[in-house]
Amino acid sequence: MTLDELRGLDGAKLRYALMDLAKEVPDAIALGRGDPDLDTPAHVVEAAKRALAEPLQPLQPVAGMPALREAIARRARGDHGVSVGPEQVLVTTGGQEGLFLVMSALLDPGDEILVPDPRYTSYDQAIEHAGGVSVTVPTQPEEAFDLKAAAIEPLITPKTKALLLVTPSNPTGGIITRGEAEKIAALAQKHGFVVISDEIYGKFVWPPFEHVSIGALPGMREHTITLSGFSKAWAMTGWRVGYVIAPKDAIDGMAAIKAATTGPVANVSQAAALAAAEADDACIDAFREIYAERRAILGDGLRAMGLDYTDPRGGFFFWADSSSTGLRALELSYLLLKEASVLVFPGTGFGARWSDYLRITTLQPTEVLREAVERMTPVVRRYADEAKARS
């Protein structure tokens, strides 16, 4: 695919086109997708093996294995202070299904949902599928991409049904700070809309910052739907286990849709997730140390090559400014793939406004990440020098 052909794409189509193009590049290093590269913890895999050895595999309830729903509720209470029981938990086939179930159950055609800009565009697809209308709320680099209540309030209308909150953010690495979460909670209660809080990266917030679950704030239990899962924290992307926490009537509505579509999550995956949820966080702590080292390597490398960025406060991504090269992010992404054999995603894969930004992930082994930085550096510096000479 040529650069001109790529210019006609955006969102998921653009990201997948670049991934297909990368398959044609020998020895390409992918710093695009957000799938953890670490091994699923051994105790999780062993639990799955034991489950597979059971000769009888009864069909579980659509909403999920009771023990797993209880374990998720217990973690929500203990980790984040969210007051919830197992009847308020729905186990889903990955976070993606959870997202589609939430939008399908919550939105009627014409309902408006406030969404942060930039964002992972699967949200847009789910909203469109349900007949909803996305209303973008801008976030700013100088505010570390914290979603501001002051930016939200002027966009609220009688049609506003929900607000999407993603913390930590994909793609920016921004988080919702406690002060802004409290202000947004006040708006939700005043205007009667629901906050859909996607917290899939919540276990990876970098000091001195904290993860804030808006559902734990006073008065927000009935105004919050929380999305999360096991893919990021336990390196379980391929196991396909997500979950939704919501008021019981919302859970019942989503479960009815799930019963008519995918049915319950596979027994083996639920058994693996149960082992993850019931154990302590030692494996996550070990993962966090690895990711922190990679974050330092990539951050130092990007600055050294002249790409500026706002320090990511959580998650696995850097959201870097390409303007020093004099190139739009799509063109720079294309050239990095062709000239350095490194795949990164342009910001237009996450919103039309972000043509000067790149999303770069830390999800490669440390030495591979170092190699990617070494490959990228001379290419970025050359174009930056050329841009400086022209100015």
- Per-residue model confidence (pLDDT) at position 345: 97
Q: Global pTM?
A: 0.95
The confidence band for 289, taking pLDDT boundaries of 50, 70 and 90, is: very high
Amino acid letter, 373: V
- Per-residue model confidence (pLDDT) at position 357: 97
Report CA Rg, the chain. Answer: 21
The DSSP annotation for 55-122 comes to S--PPPPTT--HHHHHHHHHHHHHHH-----GGGEEEESHHHHHHHHHHHHHPPTT-EEEEEES--TH
Q: Region 147-158: what's the mean pLDDT?
A: 98
Domain ranges of the chain: 3-30+283-390, 55-278
- Per-residue model confidence (pLDDT) at position 391: 81
CATH number assigned to the domain with residue range 55-278, chosen from the 4 options 3.40.640.10, 3.40.50.970, 2.60.120.680, 1.10.3720.10: 3.40.640.10
CA 300 to chain centre: 23
The confidence band for 1, taking pLDDT boundaries of 50, 70 and 90, is: confident
As to burial, measured by CB atoms within 10 angstroms (0-12 exposed, 13-18 middle, 19+ buried), residue 389 is exposed
What the block records as the tokens of 132 is 């909803």
- Per-residue model confidence (pLDDT) at position 226: 97
- Per-residue model confidence (pLDDT) at position 12: 87
- Which tens digits make up the pLDDT trace of 339-365? 999 999 999 999 999 999 999 999 999
Cβ-contact 294, 173 below 8 angstroms: no
3-state SS class at 256: helix
Considering the chain, what is the average pLDDT of its residues? Answer: 96
The CATH code for residues 3-30+283-390 is 3.90.1150.10
The confidence band for 217, taking pLDDT boundaries of 50, 70 and 90, is: very high
- Per-residue model confidence (pLDDT) at position 228: 97
Query: d(Cα 54, Cα 88) in Å, to the nearest integer?
Result: 29
Of 4-13, 82-91, 218-227, 326-335, the poorest mean pLDDT is in 4-13
- Per-residue model confidence (pLDDT) at position 80: 86
The count of residues in the chain is 391
What the block records as the tokens of 225 is 């739907």
Amino acid letter, 80: H
Query: d(Cα 366, Cα 10) in Å, to the nearest integer?
Result: 30
Q: What is the share, in percent, of the chain residues with pLDDT greater than 90? A: 96
Q: Region 119-142: what's the mean pLDDT?
A: 95
Number of Cβ atoms within 10 Å of the Cβ of 232: 26
